[in-house]
């Protein structure tokens, strides 16, 4: 059995791409592995040092995870800042992390470009904190997107380095978890590429009917097919791909026919797509709102998560302290 761990930053809402991508797999995976899912609110401070809405962001992501079907009784679902052991392991790992290798990380270089006015030490050591997140639970599998592969590689490096420096085989090397065939790629609404929160092309799980309609109606299309049965260019294929996940087979078939006969009206198709996305999302959206407003439930979930995560984390940390040589008098 694998120990699977995944973290999500507390900035930004979950979107359809997250849902059909990782989330749906997490919901299955939680029954087959020992799973740790957490909200990385420490990490958020590297880009948002004084967030007015830190707490409500965390509440939102937690409500979304729960509404989507993560079971806090089955998986360990927690908030990073509830587990101070992570911060201590981060401190210890920092002693064996080198400025040079941290400066060479692409995510760091990106951030230096994006926020030159705030190149803080937390940004530099972001991969160290991420490594602490992972190895504190001795995770063996970490589902990550392309943009986080290098950070995971750093986590492997720090785990191996710890083992080598203290001459132990204590931390396993966390491997990327590859969803492979199971991963449905959801395109964005801007004509190319996949749905992502920073691309501004996403439909969020908490979007209202009105917002969904506006976003879908704005989606990029072209002037229409000119030949019967022609291959669809990317922006059009994207609309069909979205339709395939939310609409009935008959609906997809219908618009496919229309396209092939050069008789499609994108406006009609988009209206249908917006309506079907809304039908799909509305029970999730309602659940998110219900959970978001249920403070006593959220409190219980966070407490349980923190308790389970800390139990395991403190065990690891105690052993790490012994390995390094901290001793009580
Ligand atoms: N850096 C990740 C991201 O931006 C979030 C994250 C923090 C994470 N700690 C993690 C992901 C540990 C996986 C494992 O998406």
Residue 266: CATH number of its domain: 1.10.240.10
Residue 174 lies in a domain: yes
pLDDT value, residue 254 = 98
Average pLDDT over residues 159-173: 98
pLDDT confidence of residue 180? 73
Q: Are residues 152 and 175 in the same domain?
A: yes
Task: Identify whether residues 109 and 21 lie together within a single domain.
Answer: yes
Is residue 154 domain-resident?
A: yes
* Residue 310 within a domain: yes
Catalytic annotation present for 24: no
Residue with the nearest Cα to atom 11 of ligand 1?
Answer: 7
284 assigned to some structural domain: yes
What is the predicted pLDDT for the residue at 11? 74
Active site residue 287: no
Residue 198 domain-assigned (yes or no): no
Pocket of ligand 1 contains residue 144 by CB under 6 Å = yes
* Pairing mode of beta strands 141-142, 76-79: unpaired
Which residues are paired to 34 by β-bridges?
3
Q: Residues 177, 274: one domain?
A: no
Shared domain for 19 and 124, answered yes or no, is yes
pLDDT band at 145 (very low <50, low <70, confident <90, very high): confident
Tell whether 85 and 168 lie within a shared domain: yes
In the chain, the number of structural domains is 2
pLDDT at position 153 is: 97
pLDDT digits (tens, 9 = 90+) for 266-282: 999 999 999 999 999 99
Q: Whose CA is nearest to atom 4 of ligand 1?
A: 9
State pLDDT tens for residues 222-240.
999 999 999 999 999 999 9
Ligand 1 contact, 41 CB (< 6 A):
no
Shared-domain flag, residues 228 and 307: no
Per-residue pLDDT reduced to its tens digit, 27-54: 999 999 999 999 999 999 999 888 788 9
Per residue in 172-196, pLDDT tens? 999 999 887 666 789 999 988 889 8
CA distance to 6, 151, 202, 311, per residue, from 190 (Å)? 28, 28, 9, 45
- Indicate which residue's Cα is closest to atom 10 of ligand 1: 7
- Residue 176: phi and psi, rounded to 5, are -70, 140
* pLDDT score recorded for residue 22: 86
**H/E run at residue 154:** helix 149-165
* Helix boundaries (H) for 104-148: 106-114, 121-124, 126-135
Structure tokens at 171: 């931390």
- The two tokens of residue 311 are 């139990």
Across the chain, mean pLDDT equals 95
pLDDT in tens, 278-306: 999 999 999 999 999 999 999 999 999 99
Q: Say if residue 281 is in the same domain as residue 306.
A: no
State the Cα–Cα distance between residues 133 and 129, nearest whole angstrom.
6
Q: Check residue 273 and give its pLDDT.
A: 98
For a substitution probing ligand 1, which of 4, 9, 22, 126 has the most ligand atoms within 8 Å of its CB?
A: 9
Residue 128 shares a structural domain with residue 222: no
In a shared domain, residues 229 and 318 = no
Verify that 254 and 128 share a domain, yes or no: no
Interval 89-103 mean pLDDT: 98
Q: What is the pLDDT of residues 66-87, one digit of tens each?
A: 999 999 999 999 999 999 999 9
111 is annotated as an active-site residue: yes
State residue 181's pLDDT score.
Answer: 67
Domain that holds residue 233: 209-289
Q: Are residues 299 and 285 in the same domain?
A: no
Q: Degrees (nearest 5) of the Cα angle 308, 163, 138?
A: 20
């Amino acid at each position: 059995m694998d120990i699977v761990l995944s973290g999500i930053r507390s900035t930004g809402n979950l979107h359809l791409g997250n849902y059909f991508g990782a989330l749906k797999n997490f919901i299955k995976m939680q029954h087959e592995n020992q799973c740790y899912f957490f909200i990385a609110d420490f990490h958020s401070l590297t880009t948002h040092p004084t967030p007015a809405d830190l707490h409500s962001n965390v509440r939102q992501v937690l409500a979304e995870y729960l509404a989507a079907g993560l079971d806090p009784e089955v998986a360990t679902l927690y908030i990073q800042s509830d587990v101070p052991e992570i911060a201590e392991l981060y401190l210890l790992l920092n002693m064996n992390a080198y400025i040079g290798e941290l400066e060479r990380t692409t995510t760091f270089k990106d951030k230096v470009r994006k926020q030159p006015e705030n190149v803080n030490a937390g940004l530099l050591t972001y991969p160290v904190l991420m490594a602490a997140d992972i190895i504190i639970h001795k995770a063996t599998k970490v589902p990550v997107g392309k943009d986080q592969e290098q950070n995971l590689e750093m986590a492997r490096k720090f785990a191996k380095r710890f083992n080598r420096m203290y001459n132990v085989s204590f931390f396993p090397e966390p491997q990327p978890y590859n969803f492979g065939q199971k991963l449905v790629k959801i395109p964005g609404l801007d004509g190319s590429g996949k749905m992502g929160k920073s691309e501004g092309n996403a439909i969020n799980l908490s979007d209202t009917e009105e917002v969904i309609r506006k976003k879908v109606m704005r989606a990029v299309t072209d002037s229409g097919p000119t030949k019967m049965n022609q291959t669809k260019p990317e922006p059009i294929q994207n609309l069909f791909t979205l339709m395939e996940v939310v609409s009935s087979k008959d609906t997809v078939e219908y618009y496919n026919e229309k396209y092939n006969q050069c008789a499609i009206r994108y406006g009609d198709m988009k209206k249908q797509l917006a309506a079907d996305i809304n039908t799909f999302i509305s029970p999730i959206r309602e659940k998110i709102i219900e959970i978001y407003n249920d403070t006593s439930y959220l409190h219980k979930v966070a407490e349980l998560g923190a308790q389970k995560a800390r139990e395991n984390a403190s065990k690891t940390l105690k052993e790490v302290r012994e390995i390094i040589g901290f001793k009580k008098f």
